[in-house]
Amino acid sequence: MKQRLQQKSSLQNIAFLSVCLSLAACGDHDDTQQTSQNIPQLSPAIGKMLKGSCSDLQGYQYNHTTISNATLQPAGTLTVAGKNIRAHCLIQGYMYQRTSPIDGQIYQIGFEMRLPIDWNGRFLYQGNGGTDGNIVTATGQVGSGGPLSNALNDGFAVISSDAGLNAAQNPLFGLDPQARMDYGYGAITKLTPMAKDLIRAAYSKYPDRSYAGGTSNGGRHAMIAATRLGEQYDGILASTPGSHLPKAAAAQLYTAQQLRRVATDENDLSTALSFDERKVLAKAILDRCDHLDGITDGLVQDVEACRTAFNIHQHVPVCTNQRDGSCLSAEQIDVLANIYRGPINTKGQALYATQPFDPGLLGKNWASWKFESSVGTARDPVAVGIVFQVPPDASIMQNSRQFAFNYNFDTDYPKLAAVDQTYQESALSFMLPPDELNLDKLRLHGGKMIVVQGTADGVFSVDDTQHWYDQLISKYQNLGWG
C-alpha cells in the first residue's frame, strides 16, 4: 500500500512534515515475506566504561590521521537544558592534510569527537549545515530533541567535522576539486571508519549501533550515509535534507529574478512582498485550507487537499490601485505563482520542484532565504557559481546579486552537471548519492530511516522530498519488499 508523508504547517513557524521509513518493514507485509528477505531485528546496544584515560588517546594512530588534542571534559563542562552533560573525552584532530595544486591552500578534514566516560554503546555522526567550514561542538544535536537533550547527554559517542574546509576557505574551496568532493561525500566516508576505530581504541569494542543525523546540508549528509555507507549505519535521521542541494540553490536564483520584477528596491528584495502582503497571502491560504482536516486551528494539515482548494490567481485579493498592504498586485501574484511552481528554462522544462502554498511563509526563516540568501555572498549565488558549477567563477564574490539576477537557466544551469579535465565529478554527482533509491545495504541489516521536512521550508521543497519518497516506496514494493 502506497504511503504518504504526514504533513503539517504552522502560521508562526516553519512547518514540518515527518516520515518514519522502516526499511525492515515498509508498507504492508507478512512475517513469511520478512523472513524470506532475511532482514534481522537489531539487538540493543551494550554500554561500556572508557578504558584508561582520555590522554591515552593522544597517541591514537590511523592512516592519514593526526590527533592534536585528547583531554578530559569533567561533568558540567557542557550543559543542556540546565543539566550537566556527563564527563567525556574531547578528541580533536584532522585527516588527509594536503596542499591544493589549484589554489595553494592547505586543506584537511578537521573533526572533534566526544567520548563519554560512561558510554552507552552507540555512535552518532553529526552532520552540520550550510557549506560547512566549522567544527560545531559534537553534542549530537541533529535537529531533533530540541533544547531538552542531545546525543552526548544520552551517552552517545559523537563526531562533528568541518567537511574538509575551514571558514576562511568558504566558499572559495569550490576552486579545488578534492575539497568539493570532500564537502559532498568524502568527509563522511573517510571519517566514519576512523571514528569507529577510535571508539574501539577507547572502549575495546566497536559501537553496537551507529547513527547519522543532521539538518539541511547535514540532513543531506545523513542521506549520503544511508546510501554510500548503508552497511555502516543502523539509523538515519535526515531533517530538512537538501537532498538535491545544487538544484535547490539554483532555484533560489530564479526566486531572486522573479522578486526583482516587483521589488521597489532591487537591493532589498523584501520590498517585493512586505510582511503585511505576506499576511494577505497567508490569510487567503488559511481561509481555503485550514478547515480541510476538520479542525480550524491556524494550520494547514491537509496539504494535498489544499493544492486544489487554493488557487493564488482566484483566492487572493487583487489591488485595484496602489499597493497598500491589504492586497497583492496582479504582477505580485504572477511572481509568487512562478516561485512556487519552480524554475523552468525557455523550453518549459521544470528544473527543480514545485512547493505547496503554506502560511509558514510568514516565518523569518522563509523571508531570510527568499529575500537575502537568494542574492547574498554567503549562500546560494556563491554556492551555485563557485562550489557547484564547472568551471567555477571566483569573481562572483564581487557581485553575487548581479550573478543571481543574470543567471541563465538555458546556458548556466547545465554547468551543474558539467565536468572537465580538472573537475571530473559534477555537483550532481558529488552532492548526490550514486543511486538515491538504493537503500539495500541499510535495509538488509535491519536499518531504519526517519526523514523530516518542512512544508514552508524557504529553500528545500517538500515536494522534492515527497517525490523521492514515493519513488522509493514504489521501487521496494515492485521488488516485493513491502
Q: What is the pLDDT of residue 10?
A: 37
Q: What is the pLDDT of residue 148?
A: 87
Residue 482: which pLDDT band, with cuts at 50, 70 and 90? low
Mean pLDDT (whole number) for 72-88: 95
pLDDT at 20 over 50: no
Q: Is 112 helix (H, G, I), strand (E, B) or coil?
A: strand
| Residue 43 vs residue 36, higher pLDDT | 43
Q: Is 393 helix (H, G, I), strand (E, B) or coil?
A: coil
Q: For the CA atoms of the chain, what is the radius of gyration? A: 23
Mean pLDDT score across all residues of the chain: 91
Q: What is the pLDDT of residue 30?
A: 38
pTM equals 0.91
Say if CB 362 and CB 278 are below 8 A apart.
yes
Phi, psi (5° rounding) for residue 441?
-65, -40
AA identity, residue 354: T
Q: What ranges do the domains of the chain cover? A: 48-245+436-478, 246-429
| Pairing mode, strands 235-239 and 6-7 | unpaired
pLDDT in tens, 350-376: 999 999 999 999 999 999 999 999 998
Q: What is the pLDDT of residue 465?
A: 95
Burial of 127 (0-12, 13-18, 19+ CB in 10 A): buried
pLDDT at 26 over 60: no
Phi, psi (5° rounding) for residue 93?
-175, -165
Q: What is the pLDDT of residue 37?
A: 55
pLDDT at 211 over 80: yes
Classified by CATH at the fold level, domain 48-245+436-478 comes out as Rossmann fold (3.40.50)
pLDDT at 48 over 60: yes
| Pairing mode, strands 157-161 and 448-453 | unpaired
AA identity, residue 49: M
Mean pLDDT (whole number) for 239-265: 97
DSSP letters for 305-347: HHHHH--HHHHSPBPSSS--SSSB-HHHHHHHHHHHH--B-TT
